[in-house]
Structure 1
Amino acid sequence: MNIKEEIHALSDEMLEKLERLVVIPSVEGEPLEGKPFGEAPAKALEEGLRIADELGFKTVNLDNYCGYAEMGEGEEIIGIAAHLDVVPEGDGWTYEPFALTRDGDYVYGRGTTDDKGPVVEGLYAMKLLRDSGVKLNKRVRLIMGCNEENGSECMKHYNKVAEELSYGFTPDADFPCIHGEMGQMALNAYSKHTKIISMNGGFVFNAVCDTCTTLVPAEEGLKECLEKAFSESGLPEYKVTEENGELHIYAKGVPAHASMPTLGVNAAGVTCACLAEAGFEDDFVTYYNSHIGTACDGSGIGLKFEDEFGVLTLCNGTVRTENGTIICTIDVRVPVTLHPEDVRKMCEGKLEDENGRMEIEKLGEPLFYPRKSPLVEAIYRSYVDVTGDTKNQPIVIGGGTYAKYLKNVIAFGPEKTEIDYRIHGADEFIRISDMEEAVLMYMEALKNLLAI
């Protein structure tokens, strides 16, 4: 039996392990004593470490921030860093989000691709490497984090209490591999004066606002004008109803990851555009349309920019109303040639006017490894050796991964760039054939990193 046949024979076993993780709705919750990210992420970590233990690895739980499975001996450590936390399920699922549903080559469920599937793939790459008899002159460690979707505090904790990795990868992005990750800026936008009674939508800051419910005072002819504007907006679903002198507006957009907002449709942005089109005069609507809008390019706050590695993007993830103030979360992905102070200067003086304001909450550094660095070469070679594909080259992405928190780590898979696996959206899936191929690539990557 060759290695591909051996991996294929393990498919059902891998899916059984994956199901044990997917059924746990490991969305971040309220911190509890000894469980910094809540009950569900801690439960997912416990199950992940149990699976690793069953496969014969040494396991360690690092205070329920993260944990790891390890094999081999030596001072140096080759690492795989993946995460067990997931974003909320959101709306629009055809399949049960926290169950594993198989349909031919497709397996559906929240976390199948981001990032519980890769946890299983990494564990089986380690198992197959160990069982092949390859001499492990270094330790191999798979780290399972619990807070990647909300700040990666898990990896910050790892750096405080555990040993540094010599080299490694995080299976939380695209193939063939990632040699750069854009910087990230998080902002909050606030209304100053608004007639809008309430506006609420979105489910997470790092995904396009997929639904929005808005309540405004009824004005003569406004309902008809809004219905006309929405009918021409291209939204997949909307509804405008009038009751007790108020208009209830429901808008359904399309979710997408914040690093690729042009793949989605921002329901809050379309709502503000339609309100203006319908003649609803409002300070915050004016501010939103001029500073945020639906263009996703940051032009409204002076951030439109592109370099050889990518385009700056702006994503409105959530909108909510608190004590009469509308608050929008904004996620900006910044090309690698721009540093934080450059970004700050570009938008300086453009974040506030008489109608609204934005505040910068976080401004992070980009990550970049030269294309010909030993780490990138070792990872990329494993992709080429398995797939035979030399056309696709290492890329720079807008997403942020654990690579920004761990030394000498880059992102490697599991997604193929031509396929939308619907991460952060409804009906997230993984293909079994892709899973099997990823196990082989991760096995080869470990071999190459062990040889550096």
Structure 2
Amino acid sequence: MSIKEEIHGLTDEMLTNLGRLVAIDSQLGTPAEGMPFGEGPAKVLEEALKIADELGFKTVNLDNYCGYAEMGEGEEIVGIAGHLDIVPVGGDWTYDPFKLTREGDHVYGRGTTDDKGPVLEALYAMKLVRDSGVKLNKRVRLIMGCNEETGSKCMEHYNEVEEELSCGFTPDANFPCIHGEKGQMGMMAYSKNTKIISMNGGFVSNAVCDTCNTVVPAEAGLKERLEAAFAETKLQEYKVTEENGEISIYAKGVPAHASTPMLGVNAAGVTFECLAKAGFEDDFVKFYNEHIGTACDGSGLGLKFADEYGELTLCNGIVKTEDGVISATIDIRVPVTLKGEEVRKMCEDRLEDGNGRIEILGIGDSLFFPRESPLVNALYKAYVDVTGDTENKPMVIGGGTYAKSLKNIIAFGPEMPGIDYRIHGADEFMLVSGMEEAVLVYMEAIKNLLEI
């Protein structure tokens, strides 16, 4: 039996086990004793470690922050770090997000690609390498975290209580290979004065605000002017209604990850833009359009910048109204050659005026490994040897992964070029054929890393 046939023979078992993980709502919950990220993340970690135990691996739970499955012997550790927590469901799902649903080659459910599916792919790659009789001169450790989507405190804990990794990867990004990750900058925008009665939209800060509900005071002819402005947009859907002296606006945009906001349509941004076009005079409408807008390039904050590895991107994920103040989250991905203090200086004179203000919450460092480093070469070779794809090259991405939290690892798969798996959006999916291929790629990657 060929290795591809062997992997294919395990497909039903892998999907059954993935279904066990997808069925658990592992969003960040309320911390409790022994459960630092709440009940869901602790429960999914317990289930994942149980699966690994059933497959014959040594398993360790690190205080429900994270855990690992391990095989092999030696001082050095080949690390694979994936996460079991998920973002909120959000959006309009066709399928139950907490029930694995297969339709042909597609398998739907929250976490199928980000990142429960890849964790299972890596685990089965380890099993197949072990069962093939390859000499395990290093330990191979699959670390399963519970807080990647909301701060990676799970890996902070790992670094406090466990050994450093010698080399490895996180299966939480794209093939063929990620040798750099942009820095990340968080901001919050606040209104000072606004006539807007309420504005609420979005569900996470690291995804484009894809729906937005807004209420403004009615003005003569405003409803008609708004409808004319919305008709010229790229929204999927909109509705403008007038009642009791108020105009209500519903806008449905297009979801996208904060690392690629240009692939989405920001429902809040479009609403602000249309309010201005319709002649609705308002301080915060003016502030938002001048400083944030819909361009996704940070130009309104003086941050338009690109290097050879990519351009700076800006994403507004959430807008909400509290006590008459509108706030908006801003997620900026910073090119790898730009330092945090340089970014701060570029925008410091654009953060406040009479109409609104923006607060910098933090600036995270970028990650970069030279293209010709042994780690990058080992992983890229595994991808090429399995897929035969030499057109797509190692790249730099805007997303942030565990590679920024753990030493000596980079992001590696499993998303294939040109496919939108709808991560962080409705109807997230994985491909069964892609799962089988990823297992084979990860097998080759483990074998290559055992040799460097």
| TM-score bracket for this pair, using the shorter chain length | over 0.9
Shift of 1:91: 1.5
Shift of 1:163: 0.9
Q: Which moved more, 1:440-449 or 1:87-96?
A: 87-96
Report the counterpart of residue 389 of structure 1 in structure 2.
389
Shift of 1:392: 1.1
Q: Which moved more, 1:178-187 or 1:220-229?
A: 220-229
Report the counterpart of residue 402 of structure 1 in structure 2.
402
Equivalent residue letter for 2:145? G
Alignment of 1:195-206 (within 5 A): 195-206=195-206
2:213 pairs with 1:213: yes
SS at match of 2:215: strand
Equivalent residue letter for 1:39? E
SS at match of 1:443: helix
Equivalent residue letter for 1:442? Y
Alignment of 1:232-243 (within 5 A): 232-243=232-243
Shift of 1:28: 0.8
Q: Which moved more, 1:335-344 or 1:232-241?
A: 232-241
Q: Which moved more, 1:226-235 or 1:432-441?
A: 226-235
Report the counterpart of residue 33 of structure 2 in structure 1.
33
The answer as to whether partners of 2:182 and 2:398 remain within 8 angstroms in 1 is yes
Report the counterpart of residue 49 of structure 2 in structure 1.
49
2:228 pairs with 1:228: yes
Report the counterpart of residue 321 of structure 1 in structure 2.
321
Shift of 1:99: 0.9
Shift of 1:367: 0.3
Shift of 1:234: 2.3
The C-alpha deviation readout for 1:172-197, integer Å capped at 9, x for no partner, is: 00000000000000000000100111
SS at match of 1:102: strand
Report the counterpart of residue 345 of structure 1 in structure 2.
345
Q: Which moved more, 1:418-427 or 1:227-236?
A: 227-236
Unaligned runs of 5+ in 2: none
Distance 1:75 1:384 in 2: 29
Task: Please list every run of at least 4 consecutive aligned residues from structure 1 whose deviation after the TM superposition is greater than 2 angstroms.
Answer: none
Report the counterpart of residue 312 of structure 2 in structure 1.
312
SS at match of 1:36: coil
Distance 1:147 1:205 in 2: 15
Report the counterpart of residue 442 of structure 1 in structure 2.
442
Query: How many percent identity over aligned positions?
Result: 77
Distance 1:56 1:362 in 2: 42
Alignment of 1:13-412 (within 5 A): 13-412=13-412
Q: CA RMSD in A?
A: 0.7
Shift of 1:89: 1.0
The C-alpha deviation readout for 1:372-419, integer Å capped at 9, x for no partner, is: 001101111101111111111100000000000111100000101211
Equivalent residue letter for 2:117? G
Shift of 1:242: 1.5
Equivalent residue letter for 2:262? T
Shift of 1:273: 0.4
Shift of 1:351: 0.9
The C-alpha deviation readout for 1:340-359, integer Å capped at 9, x for no partner, is: 01111111111111101111
Distance 1:234 1:39 in 2: 40
Report the counterpart of residue 422 of structure 2 in structure 1.
422
Distance 1:46 1:326 in 2: 40
Shift of 1:329: 0.6
The answer as to whether partners of 2:234 and 2:265 remain within 8 angstroms in 1 is no
Shift of 1:92: 1.6
Q: Which moved more, 1:216-225 or 1:263-272?
A: 216-225
The C-alpha deviation readout for 1:243-298, integer Å capped at 9, x for no partner, is: 22111111101110000001100000000001011111000000000000000000
Residues paired across the two proteins, number: 452
Distance 1:257 1:127 in 2: 32
SS at match of 2:79: strand
Equivalent residue letter for 2:330? I
Equivalent residue letter for 1:42? A
Distance 1:399 1:175 in 2: 13
SS at match of 2:358: strand
Shift of 1:141: 0.4
Equivalent residue letter for 2:194? T
Shift of 1:219: 1.1
The C-alpha deviation readout for 1:222-259, integer Å capped at 9, x for no partner, is: 11111111111121111111222111111101110000
Equivalent residue letter for 1:411? A
Distance 2:357 2:98 in 1: 38
Distance 1:174 1:245 in 2: 50
Distance 1:427 1:78 in 2: 33
Distance 1:245 1:36 in 2: 47
SS at match of 2:44: helix
Distance 2:400 2:122 in 1: 20
Distance 2:127 2:267 in 1: 45
Distance 1:112 1:192 in 2: 42
Report the counterpart of residue 431 of structure 1 in structure 2.
431
Q: Which moved more, 1:230-239 or 1:208-217?
A: 230-239
Shift of 1:75: 1.1
Distance 2:141 2:20 in 1: 21
TM score, norm. by length of structure 2: 0.99
Distance 2:29 2:349 in 1: 36
Distance 1:29 1:295 in 2: 34
The C-alpha deviation readout for 1:3-43, integer Å capped at 9, x for no partner, is: 11100000000000100001111111121121111111111
Equivalent residue letter for 1:198? S
Equivalent residue letter for 2:360? I
Equivalent residue letter for 1:332? I
The C-alpha deviation readout for 1:400-448, integer Å capped at 9, x for no partner, is: 0000011110000010121101101111110000000000110110111
Distance 2:30 2:207 in 1: 21
Q: Which moved more, 1:24-33 or 1:194-203?
A: 24-33
Equivalent residue letter for 1:265? V
Distance 1:360 1:10 in 2: 48
Distance 2:53 2:131 in 1: 15
Distance 2:186 2:443 in 1: 36
